[in-house]
Structure 1
């Protein structure tokens, strides 16, 4: 079975962890263990989040007096792909001796006229007081919005069209490699209609939606979205909270999960199942093997009454 595994941002940094390098190195073993159990039985492609790492680079770049302007998000995202990729490669070599493992910096095609560019909504970087945030916005041309803990930069999140390196990934899988790619949703680029020339975009592509597009194009059988909760919950955080163990794409959409947390994961799972007839699941990193074998997580399957 071919499985695309989408690791959440908590894979290397759990909630509350400091974004230090040694913390991420210490956390990588549990990620490698979760992937290894699947890689011994299936073809595996791994995507990953980069929120904490990207936020740190954004802050450092904005504060660097040697720069005339902060680095754009496409270049910072590429840096995080390289860093997280090398950590995963090292860890997987230890637990999968004899396996081929490849980490790719990959690019995600988006449309230049995507409506998301007119409505920046994705938070990036740390929270500031309103006064400081407004000063940074004036200095760097940022958009800002309130995020409960303070004021943060918001950026566009255009819809992913395709991962440009999909054919290369397909070839690597065919050669028996475990492939790590599309980190942080991939480096967002647009293509010139006449020449095909690529231009980096100061935006962030949702990592789960990018994983769903990649899984569809690779003709994967299963999209596995791993996070820090054991399954999807209806009424999460309320007295009426209850686990959702099985759902159809329509069920996932009707539930109205929040955009800032479970919403993109639910939509990614729904899209993949709807478009391919395959299976998707959402659950905890440490239960990856059990989720694929139907013993944990929330399974999203095609609606038997449709089609």
Structure 2
């Protein structure tokens, strides 16, 4: 039995398919949990992170729709925390049931995680992350006057509010997470990239921002000294020359090779590129850490035969 400390970052498709109901997401996570427990069966210590893009978007729409003086809409940091809680609960529940089916005696805990960002991060002046509904230009301008928010045109589909996407600099609950993992518990943490907070006069203050979940997961994995950082996505392998006649899957690759492919613009920004950047950063920041990009369905092959794109120093 191995005893590796592994951080697994779940892709959005592990939680939400095309049906946004709570029940459908619980069903998706039931299947996800059945794959994840294979790592626990293998003797690994597991820390799970997850995205929350569609969920926080839906909650934002519900808040906007119900917004009134008596029932004001919540701010983004609170919505991130709420979805961390709800997805954490679904995942905890699914994992506990999957462990019970295998007679494995382990507890699962979710930690609502505050992720510290630098208030001087250039992301706060160059707002880039679209959130919420689409507006017409007139509606967007009216909203900007009313709320001081920034709206930008989004790929010809209409105008959307944009917020900062700063880089994580610290995980506030790191020692809590470490204590739980060291005591043998399975931990769900850093959901949706964590709740973004800045330090002001020695106090933590929530800010309107969205932290990339791959970078927040990488920061958590590196700070915990994880042995492995697994980023789960929709494909079993990362490919170069994707969808071209000379398409090739990457199996075992070095950081230097991955950087070379990045220099050739092999990975799409906004989809594969942040995953590649986060895994490279993890390998660089740890002594013998290995990073893997693969699919949920490929986890068993990864355990048995090192299948997936594996990045090493």
Q: Would you call these one fold, judging by a TM-score over 0.5?
A: yes
Shift of 1:32: 0.4
User: Which of 232, 241, 255 pairs up with 1:249?
Assistant: 255
User: Which of 271, 275, 279 pairs up with 1:269?
Assistant: 279
1:200-279 → structure 2 map (5 Å cutoff): 200-254=206-260, 255=262, 256=265, 257-276=267-286, 277-279=288-290
Q: Which secondary structure does the structure 1 equivalent of 2:249 belong to?
A: strand
Residue of structure 1 in register with 2:109 after alignment:
102
Distance, in Å, in 1 between the alignment partners of 2:245 and 2:145 is 43
Residue of structure 1 in register with 2:65 after alignment:
63
Q: Which secondary structure does the structure 2 equivalent of 1:83 belong to?
A: helix
User: Which of 90, 94, 99 pairs up with 2:93?
Assistant: 90
Distance, in Å, in 1 between the alignment partners of 2:276 and 2:302 is 16
Residue of structure 2 in register with 1:113 after alignment:
120
Q: TM-score, normalised by structure 1?
A: 0.90
Distance, in Å, in 2 between the alignment partners of 1:295 and 1:122 is 35
Q: Structure 2: where are the runs of 5+ without partners?
A: none
Q: Which secondary structure does the structure 2 equivalent of 1:199 belong to?
A: strand
Alpha-carbon deviations, 1:188-215, whole Å to 9, x = none? 10112x4x21100100111111111111
Alpha-carbon deviations, 1:159-200, whole Å to 9, x = none? 1011111111111011110000000011010112x4x21100
Alpha-carbon deviations, 1:9-49, whole Å to 9, x = none? 221113xx031112111211111011100012200000000
Aligned pair count reads 298
1:125 aligns with 2:135: no
Shift of 1:119: 1.1
Q: Structure 1: where are the runs of 5+ without partners?
A: 303-307
Distance, in Å, in 1 between the alignment partners of 2:302 and 2:258 is 18
1:299 aligns with 2:285: no
Shift of 1:147: 3.3
> Taking structure 1 as reference, are residues 92 and 60 closer, same or farther at Cα in structure 2, changes over 3 Å only?
same
Q: Which secondary structure does the structure 2 equivalent of 1:31 belong to?
A: helix
Residue of structure 2 in register with 1:30 after alignment:
31
Question: Over the residues paired in the alignment, what is the CA RMSD in angstroms?
Answer: 2.0
Tell which deviates more after alignment, 173-182 or 232-241.
232-241
Contact 2:196 2:207 in 1 (8 A): yes
Distance, in Å, in 2 between the alignment partners of 1:24 and 1:203 is 25
1:145 aligns with 2:153: yes
Q: Which secondary structure does the structure 1 equivalent of 2:168 belong to?
A: coil
Distance, in Å, in 1 between the alignment partners of 2:45 and 2:141 is 48
Q: TM-score, normalised by structure 2?
A: 0.89
Which of structure 1's runs of 4+ aligned residues deviate more than 6 A? none
Contact 1:224 1:292 in 2 (8 A): no
